[in-house]
Amino acid sequence: MDEAGWKMGDDGFRHKDGEKFTVKWLVYTDSSWPGTLSGMAFDTWKQLGVDLVIEQMDFNTVAARTMDAKPGEKDFDIYTMGFSLSIDPDPTGALFDYAAYNEGGFNASGYFNQESQDLIAKGKSLFTVEERAPIYKEWAKLMNEEVPTVIVAYRNEIWGVNNRVKGLDQNAYIKWPALLDKIALEGDQVLKFGEASFDGVFNPIMSSNVYDGYIVDSVFEGLVTNDAAGEYHGLLADYELSEDNLTYTFTLKDGVAFSDGTPLTAADVAFTYNTIAHKDYTGPRIYAVNPLAGYDEYAAGKADAISGIEVVDDKVIKFTVKSAAPSNIEMFIYGIMPKDYYAFDKFEDFLAKNDAPVGSGKMVFESWAPSEYVNLVKNDKYWNADAAATVDGVHITVVPEETKISALQLGQIDFAQTTANKDNVAAIEALENVSLTKYMGNGYTFMCFNTLH
């Protein structure tokens, strides 16, 4: 810094041309760790002569001033955030692709490097892990040299599980709704889950809360899913990919049906994706349709339908994308909704059923009380008898973070995720009736620098 002209002043801070070396760090207060991190940095950076100004605000305000702001209006020097990876990490649209330096894009730093862009494009074009791995390793080396973003920590996840529960083998890729056909309970056959909160948006194309997502994943199923190793395979359908990697042909499996017994058809699949593309749609799944051929014309009002969605017959549907990418398969993980049940004239009529879901999953939504509980019961009409739920129901209770461990100890809940820290690990390990499950989560926390400042 001395060589760059930033000299230490009598006030203990560096100055250049009459300007103090000041860095503005945006910290959200919805969680404790961003404040802890910035607080640790404050004293260290002060020793270097840097005036670190920490601005505290809620998460939405941080997002509004960083990712959600227009280019040129991103008001920060540093901000701290968490990021969840897809199963097959792809930097496209994430923190480093210049194409994502836009309103709502993740690359709030404004970082651009042509070599990085070329490596990203090359990685996107390759369809096997073996081909992509060396490309991403080369790209990672470049990021470690340029450092537009600092990875602060990878997330651990810890769960307490009552010893009466067997087969709840979760990891970063598989959560409990996918294990409902493998769980065995001693005694009462209702699985009791303690969670922090839910918003009551039990809709596969509208939910954005992870806890609502657990309920959605129990009630609905997508065309594809992933296994514990992170590999994708057909769930409601088998699929084939064309030689040019642009067209996915899905053939629904025999007997697939919704929990009310009505058959699940290609028309229901098309309805689900067309609803995401609806002009009044404001949910978080738009990336499940905007890669489709014809989406842009449809969204602009220049076409009456999306050409990339083709219903062949009741069992077969084709999706054609604009450009090939291995991550396109993730477009098809979202739950399929029954057209007859969710049909609407006004979009608000569709949204009115957010808390009365009907799907094809292993569980049926029975009842709920806002901020209190959700009750799910076994789907006795589940279309795949070999994969039906092995429990009679799931009772999800809202339990504050500070009382989760005591609720586990008292047997009020069977399992819960708690904040990953050494005190909680020690507290759970001390319980005789509860076991600890711990694994590395599929995400990280980071510090992002505004590279244009």
Neighbours of 29 (CB within 10 A): 13
Matching CATH number, 7-154+443-449, of 1.25.40.10, 3.40.50.2300, 3.40.30.10, 3.10.105.10 = 3.10.105.10
In DSSP notation, 23-78 reads EEEEEESSSSHHHHHHHHHHHHHHHTT-EEEEEEE-HHHHHHHTTTSPTT----SE
Task: Say if residue 91's pLDDT is above 60.
Answer: no
SS3 of the chain: helix, strand, coil, percent, to 5: 25, 25, 45
| Alpha-helical segments (H) within 177-314 | 210-219, 266-276, 295-299
Determine the pLDDT at residue 443: 81
| Alpha-helical segments (H) within 206-365 | 210-219, 266-276, 295-299, 339-342, 347-351
CA distances from 83 to 253, 310, 337, 370 (A): 35, 34, 28, 28
Residue 171 · residue 228 · CB < 8 Å: yes
CA 215 remoteness from chain centre: 15
Mean pLDDT of 398-408: 96
Copy the structure tokens of residue 105: 């894009």
CA distances from 386 to 173, 182, 238, 257, 301 (A): 22, 11, 17, 15, 45
CA distances from 84 to 94, 213, 285 (A): 10, 14, 15
Cβ-defined contacts of 109-112 (< 8 Å, 24+) = 109/148, 109/149, 109/448, 109/449, 109/450, 109/451, 109/452, 110/71, 110/74, 110/450, 110/451, 110/452, 111/146, 111/148, 111/149, 111/451
Question: Please, how many CA atoms are within 13 Å of residue 104, restricted to the half-sphere of its CB?
Answer: 3
342 vs 258: CA distance, rounded Å:
13
| Distance spanning both ends of the chain, measured CA to CA | 16
Mean pLDDT of the chain: 93
Going by pLDDT thresholds of 50, 70 and 90, the confidence category of residue 39 is confident
Mean pLDDT of 227-250: 95
Going by pLDDT thresholds of 50, 70 and 90, the confidence category of residue 94 is low
Determine the pLDDT at residue 325: 86
Mean pLDDT of 438-443: 88
Where in the sequence of the chain do the CATH 3.90.76.10 domains occur?
223-356
Determine the pLDDT at residue 149: 86
Q: Degrees (nearest 5) of the Cα angle 116, 121, 125? A: 145
- Using left for φ > 0, alpha for ψ between -120 and 50, and beta otherwise, residue 369 falls in beta
45 vs 42: CA distance, rounded Å:
5
Identify which of 55, 366, 391, 363 has the alpha carbon closest to the alpha carbon of residue 220.
363
Mention the CATH class of domain 223-356.
Answer: alpha beta
CA distances from 130 to 79, 134, 212, 350 (A): 34, 8, 35, 43
Residue 357 · residue 203 · CB < 8 Å: yes
Determine the pLDDT at residue 90: 62
| Helix, coil or strand: residue 369 | strand
Determine the pLDDT at residue 334: 97
Going by pLDDT thresholds of 50, 70 and 90, the confidence category of residue 93 is low
Tally of residues, the chain: 453
Residue 357 · residue 213 · CB < 8 Å: no
Mean pLDDT of 29-50: 84
Max distance between CA atoms of the chain, in angstroms, equals: 79
Task: Say if residue 31's pLDDT is above 80.
Answer: no
Mean pLDDT of 426-436: 97
Where in the sequence of the chain do the CATH 3.10.105.10 domains occur?
7-154+443-449
Determine the pLDDT at residue 12: 94
Instruction: Convert 328-345 to b/e letters by CB count within 10 Å (16 or more is b).
Output: bbbbbbbbbbbbeebeee
Torsion of CA 442, 447, 451, 453, to 10 degrees: 150
